[in-house]
Amino acid sequence: MTVRSVLSIIGLAFTAYLAARGLIWTSPETVERGWLIVAALVFYLPVTWLWIFAIGARERTDSSSPVTSPARLPGWGVALALMAAVIVPNAPFLAVTEAGRSEPFVTWVIGAIGALMTIVMVRRRAIVAWTGMALLTLSTSFWLGPLQALSLGLVGSLMWVTAAQLVTIALDRAARDAERLAELQQAASAWQASQSGRQRERRLHVQRALQAAGPILARTIENGGNLRAADKDAARRAEASLRDELRGNRLLDDGVRVEIEAARCRGAAVSLFDEGGLEGLRPADLDVIRAELASVLRESVSQRLIIRTSPHHEIAVTIVGRSRGEGAGGDDDEVDLWREIRRPR
C-alpha cells in the first residue's frame, strides 16, 4: 500500500468521524429542523470524498517545473467545494435554536470544513482553500460571534490549512532541489564519462604517435640529425600519419591506415579532412564507410588524394584523386578519381 493510499484512508476516516458527530444529537429539544443537519451531512461527505479519491491524477504544474501536482480541476469540482463551505456551516445552525448552536452536533461543521479545505490545500488549490476558510469564518462568526467561533474550533481549522500550505511549499521546494541535484549528478556523470573518453582517445593518439614517430626520432638522435633519404621519407610519412590522426580520426581504422600508408609508400600525397557530418552515425555505419574508403584507396593510382567528410544528408565522404597531366598542358593536375561514399541507410 502506498503512502498516498494510507493518507487517503486516514482522510476518509477522519471526515467520517467529524460527520458522525452531527448525528449524535445530545440535546434533541434544541433541534427544530433535523433534516437540515442530515442534508448537510449528505452533501458534505460526497464532496469531501470526491476531493480525496476522484481528484487525484497527477501532471506537471508547468513545462519548466519539476514539481508535479494534481490535474487541473473542472469548474464543478471547485464549485462543489465552495458550495460546501457555504451550505454545510449554515444548515446546522439554521436547524437548531439559539441555545443549541454551541452543541458538538452543530459545531462539527467547523472542523469538517477545515478538513475539506485542508484537503483542497494539499491538492495545491490555495485560492480555493482560503476562499472556503473565509466563507467558514464569516458564517460561524455570524451565528456564534468571532470569539466563540474561534474557541469552538475555528483556530484549529485555520491552523490545519496554514500547516498544509507550509508543508506543500516545503515539499515542492524539496522536489525541485532533488530534481536539480539529479540533473547535476547526471551532468557530472556525463562530464566524467566524456573526460574518460577523451583521456582514452589521447592515450591512443600518443601510442600511435610513438609507434609511428618513435623509431625515426630514435634514429635521428643516434645519427645527430644526419638522416638518409629513406629515413627522411619515413619521417615525412610519420608526420603525415600523425596529421591524419588529428584531422580525420573518424575516418581511420586499421584497414584505412594500412591503405593510406601503402599509397604514400608508392609516392602519393594523401590528405584527410574531417569537416563534420559523421558525428551522428552509428559505429556499424562508420565501419561500412571505412571499409569502402579502404577499398577505394587500394585501387587508386592517383598522385594526390584528397579525402573529405561531407555534411550532406546523403554523401558521407568525398574522395578526389589528381595526377599530373601529360602533353602540352602537363604542368596542370587532372582529376582522375572522383568517388562519393553515400551514407548507409
**3-state class of 23 per DSSP?**
coil
In angstroms, the CA 145 to CA 141 distance is 4
Phi-psi region of 323 (alpha: psi -120 to 50; beta: other; left: phi over 0): beta
At 5 the pLDDT is 67
Closest C-alpha to 31, from 98, 106, 101, 95:
95
**Cell numbers 514539481 label which residue?**
67
Question: Do residues 138 and 157 touch, judged by C-beta distance below 8 A?
Answer: no
pTM for this entry? 0.54
At 67 the pLDDT is 45
At 327 the pLDDT is 55
Closest C-alpha to 225, from 236, 217, 237, 233:
217
**3-state class of 269 per DSSP?**
strand
At 49 the pLDDT is 83
Run means of pLDDT, 10 residues per run, the chain, 345 residues: 69 74 72 84 86 59 46 72 90 84 85 89 88 93 89 90 90 88 89 82 72 72 74 80 81 89 89 84 89 92 90 88 69 83 85
At 4 the pLDDT is 65
DSSP string for 44-78: HHHHHHIIIIIS--EEESSTT---EEEPPPPHHHH
In angstroms, the CA 136 to CA 215 distance is 92
**Cell numbers 480541476 label which residue?**
73
Pairing of strands 333-342, 315-324: antiparallel
Phi, psi of 104 (to 5 degrees): -60, -35
In angstroms, the CA 188 to CA 183 distance is 9
CA-CA-CA-CA torsion sign (262, 270, 240, 288): negative
Chain-centroid distance of CA 91 in Å reads: 50
